[in-house]
Structure 1
Amino acid sequence: MEHQSTALEALGIAVAARVPVLLWGAPGTGKTSVIRALADAAGWPCETVIASIREPSDFAGLPIVADGSRVDFAPPRWAVRLAEAGHGVAFFDEVSTAPPAVQAALLRVVLERTVGDLELPEHVAVVAAANPPEQAADGWELTPPLANRFCHLDWPVDARTIAAGFAGGWPDPTPPDLNPGWERRIPVARSWIAGFLTVRGPLALDVPDNAAAAGRAWPSPRSWDMTARLLAAAGKASELARSLLVRGCVGAGPGVELLTWLAEADLPDPEVALAHPEGFILPERGDRAYAALSAVAAAVATDPTPDRWARGWRVFGRATAAAPDVAATAARTLARCRPAGAPVPDEVKAFAPLLRDAGLLT
């Protein structure tokens, strides 16, 4: 039960954070049921679309001639219903049995939530389910562009889980309770990832050579950005669910490397640093120092009041003596978010030539 409950926890966080998520599992293991149950528990309408029996026009829109002078792409009814509801789950089932032409039509739907000429509301989550190609009816590997748009989660099933469900009933999923204002932590999580990629540059983009691996999770700027969003949303999550989400976006190897780096880096909380700039201690290693300072700048950028902007520069002023090059690189982000009319603190003088060259200081 523990492994399946953790996968369900990760699934709920991805849905709540509106990161497209793909649930992989053998046929007949309850993937479709649990996704529908999660939507019901959250009070969201769920539109189920069987990808394997659909045509590309069911996702790209049906071209129709309007007014004799233009061509519109009419959306299908399932998309119209979600748009009218204003929220919900667009659930694409049997994705691994969809031919490449249908997968191509799904690209814009998954990434932009746009169906034909209809843009789905922000609060519509995209969820998919698939069987491994070797277990699917006429299965296809996912194309790399489509695979890279999802967070991939495996749906584990064991004898104890099945026995408990038959004996006592299947538990109802509970929608996750995300921290209020969690989206303000996204820029901070991006800063952490930026620090990690300064030492693991090859992982910024690493497309697998074989089709099977390219049809699952692998690192790209897009999937790293999804990782940042999920790290920000998973503030209350268990450590294992957090690991599943990270590995589900960028793959097992890169995901474990990032989580290990974060654990060893022991980065300071940027809000604590802003509250007490005089107590800020810059990490010694360059990659960790860059991540820590970038996180402070990103935290200021999410709420750029004059006081927070000044406190941010006090943090950077303390860092200048220890790592002037690192501080100068991260200072550009802080300079860009200057509040209107905010006075320039004395700490900016150390970065003045660099900021003037970048057009951020007159």
Structure 2
Amino acid sequence: MKINPSQLRSLLAAYIPARLPVLITGACGTGKSDIVEQAAKAAGHDLLISHPVVEDPTDSKGLPFPNSDGSAARFLPFGDLEQALNAKCPLVWFIDDLGQASPSVQAAKMQLLLARKIGEHRLPEHVTFVAATNRRIDNAGVSNILDPLKSRFATIVELEPSIQAWTEWAVSNDVTPELIAFLRFRPALLSTDQKTKELENLPSPRGWGSVARQLPVVPKGLELEAIAGAVGEAAAAEFIAFRQIYQHLPSIDGILTAPDVAPIPTNLSALCAISTALGQAAHPNNFDRVMVYAHRMMAEGYGEYAVMLCSDAVRRNSEICATPAWIMAQGTEFGRLIMGNH
């Protein structure tokens, strides 16, 4: 069953406290690991991350160690297993890239997932399992997951990328507005179902996150090459072209100085860009002027972009909700649209 990032967060918020194990599948770079980390933090759990692709079966059952008289042996836990067995606080044990593990390592996980014990060692009740894997079609070295291991999970869900979820993350993490605006204008470029055996990256949420980190430091004249290395040449070329439009937009300072007369772009890509940039520049002290411009956009038939602008502003700074301009807008149709989107 395919779900979006918001739905996955809701699922994990319910299943983690209930100690129900979840297996998350999906393409490379869709944010599976990040969402699990966020969910563990939101639930107030510690997070233990295991990578079974580099494990031996002994990692899941312990090392055999003989008694002093040599008459018997015990399996002594070590590494991640020891940490989980000794966990004093609620813990999410996240098994990443499970499908890349060898069958013998997968088999060693079965008893842990079903019986919550291995040999004589029993896991504390406050340990919850979550696992993630790429799919066989993702060129990620996944052969399969053993059927008995799959049946140990309460549910298996497939994570699909979402432009709304990515932009919410980007706005909250101060990603440059030109990149957010570009992907809002070209959401199909957030990810691709294409596969390649060549040594190159294709568009993915992880790749665009890498672009966001590169933009402040990439040397001038190397933007296309650097960005193409993260998301592919075609997507990089479109973004570079969009940046040229973005750089010729009306000044944000100019809009905030005279919001009642500042020009409103009619080109849709420019509208997307100016809305995103103004939403990032908004704060409680200038939000009254932001709303003047937003109401003008609404009146000229660009309500979708006005709502986007105000939603971004509130997502970045919740104190805006206490401003007179925000409160006064709630009694209008515009205010209801904003609240519905937010």
TM-score class normalised by the smaller sequence: 0.3 to 0.5
Larger radius of gyration: 2
TM, length-normalised to structure 2: 0.46
TM, length-normalised to structure 1: 0.44
